[in-house]
C-alpha cells in the first residue's frame, strides 16, 4: 500500500478527488498526513472531517517540514494546490517522490496565473500537468497531461474550473499508476 502525504493551501478539491479514490478502493493508499501552510484552509477542515491526521506548518518552517516528512517516510508527497515553493533541501531529500498538479500544459505558463496567461496569449487549448517536483518552478519531469479547449467566451475563472475538472481525474489516475509500481 502506497503511503502519501498531501499538501495544500486552499479549498482541497484535489484532496477530495484523492480521498474519494482511496475510500472507494480504486487507489490502494494510505493518506498518512495532510499538511497546509494556512491554518484555516479548507483542505485541513476536509481532512479533519475524514479523520486524517493534519498539521499546519508554515512554508518558511522548512526544517520542521523536512523533519516531519522524514518521520513519516511517505512513498509520495502530493502537492494538491500547495501554493508555496519547497526548499531545495526538501526537494533533494525526496527525489522523484514529490508530485505537483499544475493548471497548464507545461512547459507553457509555469507559476501562478496560468489560465489567464493562456487566454491572453490567444491559445486554443490549455489543460493540466502532473509532474515531479524539482528545484525549479514547475520544471520537473512531466508524468501526464490532460487537455481542455479554450472557448471564445472563457474567462480565467471558467477556464480554470474546466481545468480543475480534469485535474480531479488526472491526479488520481496518475496515483493509481504509481501505486502499481
* pLDDT on residue 173: 97
Q: CA-to-CA distance for 154 and 160, rounded, in angstroms?
A: 9
Q: Say how many domains are in the chain.
A: 1
Mean pLDDT of 66-77: 97
Helices (H) and strands (E) in the chain, counts: 6, 7
Tell me whether residue 152 is in a domain: no
Q: What is the pTM of this model?
A: 0.95
* pLDDT on residue 124: 97
* pLDDT on residue 59: 83
Q: How many CB atoms lie within 10 A of CB 147?
A: 11
Tell me whether residue 161 is in a domain: no
Show which residues are catalytic: 102
Tell me whether residue 127 is in a domain: no
Query: What is the domain-level CATH number for residue 43?
Result: 3.40.50.170
Domain extent for 137: 2-101+132-147+168-179
Q: CA-to-CA distance for 155 and 61, rounded, in angstroms?
A: 36
pLDDT in tens, 119-173: 999 999 999 999 999 999 999 999 999 999 999 999 999 999 999 999 999 999 9
Tell me whether residue 78 is in a domain: yes
Mean pLDDT of 60-65: 94
Tell me whether residue 139 is in a domain: yes
Confidence of residue 180 (pLDDT cuts 50, 70, 90): confident
Amino acid at each position: 500500500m502506497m503511503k502519501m502525504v498531501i499538501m495544500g493551501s486552499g479549498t482541497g478539491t484535489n484532496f477530495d478527488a484523492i480521498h474519494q479514490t482511496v475510500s472507494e478502493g480504486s487507489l490502494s493508499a494510505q493518506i498518512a498526513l495532510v499538511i497546509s501552510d494556512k491554518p484555516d484552509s479548507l483542505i485541513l477542515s476536509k481532512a479533519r472531517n475524514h479523520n486524517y491526521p493534519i498539521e499546519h506548518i508554515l512554508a518558511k518552517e522548512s526544517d520542521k517540514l523536512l523533519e516531519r516528512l522524514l518521520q513519516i517516510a511517505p512513498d509520495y508527497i502530493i502537492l494538491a494546490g500547495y501554493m508555496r515553493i519547497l526548499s531545495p533541501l526538501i526537494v533533494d531529500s525526496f527525489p522523484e517522490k514529490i508530485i505537483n498538479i499544475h493548471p497548464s500544459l507545461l512547459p507553457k505558463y509555469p507559476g501562478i496565473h496560468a489560465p489567464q496567461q493562456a487566454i491572453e496569449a490567444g491559445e486554443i487549448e490549455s489543460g493540466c500537468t502532473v509532474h515531479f517536483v524539482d528545484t525549479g518552478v514547475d520544471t520537473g519531469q512531466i508524468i501526464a497531461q490532460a487537455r481542455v479547449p479554450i472557448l471564445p467566451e472563457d474567462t480565467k475563472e471558467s477556464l480554470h474550473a474546466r481545468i480543475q475538472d480534469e485535474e480531479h481525474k488526472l491526479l488520481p489516475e496518475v496515483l493509481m499508476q504509481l501505486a502499481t509500481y
